[in-house]
Amino acid sequence: MAHEAVIGLEVHAQLDTATKAFCACATSFGEAPNTNVCPTCLGLPGALPVLGARVVELAALTGLALGCSLRPRSRFARKNYFYPDLPKGYQISQYDDPFAYDGALELESSGKTIRIERVHVEEDAGKSVHGTRGSAVDLNRSGVPLVEIVSQPDLRSAKEASEYLRTVREILMAAGVCDGDLEQGNFRCDANVSIRRVGETTLGTRVELKNINSFRFVEKALAYEIERQTMVVESGGAVARETRGWDEEKGASFPMRGKEDSADYRYFPDPDLPPLVIPDALVTELRARLPELPREKRRRYRELASDAVAQALTQHPQVSAFFEAALALGLAPAARIANFVASEVLRDATYDGLRATFPVSAAQLAELCGLVEGGTISGKQAKDVYAAMRGKDDAPAAVVASLGMAQM
């Protein structure tokens, strides 16, 4: 009988704050090792954590954007384990009473709903750096605020898992809570995967794949692991309950350690932090601040342009904001502006987390498209005008005149 995969994902997303979760140290990336630290994030005796208000706001926006219910009163817990990059010997996290719960999102390709079990707030650990002469620990990342988004085991393939991750990432970026930078590790995931016979409801032995930080690696790692487990079971063996890593060079997963249960972490309420109470007024305010999410934007944009253009305009929150700003000036139809953004402007745009830089302003683009619409220049000439004014403040009409392009 055929087997099917059962996959659940745990996404760790770094919140876009200037300071760490429980102290005033900077969260900036790429600083000299162990410079963004203080007694609190170094775990020194007597240093007490103080939760940042910005962390609460962004965590609440995360829950709301993912369709979750926010818990009016949640608690922080200590997750106890030993590792060199965890100086306190425990991680501040949440367990019994997570910040948000019972969310869902829909996969756009199939319409399938993936349930979200919980969203909780926690601090990141430090980073172990391994070299040929030994290992070192950088604690700049220790205490950086995260949300962990835990899905129900509703995913059935590596492609579904990849689409789910892309959808979560674009939602968090649109809500302004995470910059989604995969290279810096600001958006990464652990995958729990097992197999079972098609038609069965009992879950198989679960294997966890740790710290996968690219969509391509997620697909490859899950596809490999599903095939590996299937071969083990079909040959009469038993899948070991364990944590595995992914070796991209070998294209294979490898065993790291036995899989822990929650009891192994000895969770208990953190005595240094009071319960986190979210006032109804704050929830109402944050719900009103929640922007239109990418999927809804694409539905609207598909009425103006092709599906490919709609996808391009929603690839980054600043791209859609740029398009909307140009459109709001009322100088040209939406389709003309949308197509020009997708075909020309995005080739020269640059991105830095949640920020983006465009080669022309929204006003310049709107005026340029208006000149085409009014018959002053042709569409082909508009590309030459655009090339001439990239990175400059020149008005399109002035560039047209200087180039002698005006059509009679």
- Greatest pairwise CA separation for the chain in angstroms: 81
Q: Do 245 and 310 share a domain, yes or no?
A: no
Number of CB atoms found within 10 A of residue 101's CB: 18
Q: Do 236 and 353 share a domain, yes or no?
A: no
| Residue 344: inside a domain | yes
Model pLDDT for residues 128-187, shown as the tens digit of each residue: 888 888 889 999 999 999 999 999 999 999 999 999 999 999 999 999 999 999 888 899
Model pLDDT for residues 14-27, shown as the tens digit of each residue: 999 999 999 999 99
Q: Do 97 and 239 share a domain, yes or no?
A: yes
| Residue 65 DSSP symbol | H
| Residue 307: inside a domain | yes
Q: Do 24 and 153 share a domain, yes or no?
A: yes
Q: Do 337 and 210 share a domain, yes or no?
A: no
Q: How many domains does the chain have?
A: 2
Q: Do 250 and 314 share a domain, yes or no?
A: no
Amino acid symbol at 44: L
Given a contact cutoff of 8 angstroms between Cβ atoms, the answer to whether 53 and 89 are in contact is: no
Q: Do 245 and 307 share a domain, yes or no?
A: no
Given a contact cutoff of 8 angstroms between Cβ atoms, the answer to whether 78 and 122 are in contact is: no
Cα–Cα dist 276/285, whole Å: 18
Domain with 170, as residue range(s), is 3-286
Cα–Cα dist 307/299, whole Å: 9
| Residue 408: inside a domain | no
As a dihedral over the C-alpha atoms of residue 217, residue 220, residue 226, residue 227, rounded to 10 degrees, the angle is -150
Cα–Cα dist 401/407, whole Å: 10
Helical H runs in 111-214?
Answer: 158-175
Per-residue model confidence as pLDDT tens for the chain (408 residues): 688 999 999 999 999 999 999 999 999 998 999 999 999 999 999 999 999 999 999 999 999 999 999 999 999 999 999 889 999 999 999 999 999 999 999 999 999 999 999 999 999 999 988 888 888 999 999 999 999 999 999 999 999 999 999 999 999 999 999 999 988 889 999 999 999 998 888 888 999 998 787 888 899 999 999 999 999 998 988 999 999 988 888 888 888 877 667 778 899 999 999 999 999 999 999 999 999 999 999 999 999 999 999 999 999 999 999 999 999 999 999 999 999 999 999 999 999 889 999 999 999 999 999 999 999 999 999 999 999 999 999 999 999 998 887 664
Domain boundary (226, 252, 286) is at 286
Given a contact cutoff of 8 angstroms between Cβ atoms, the answer to whether 128 and 95 are in contact is: no
The model carries a pTM of 0.92
Domain boundary (286, 308, 343) is at 286
Q: Do 296 and 274 share a domain, yes or no?
A: no
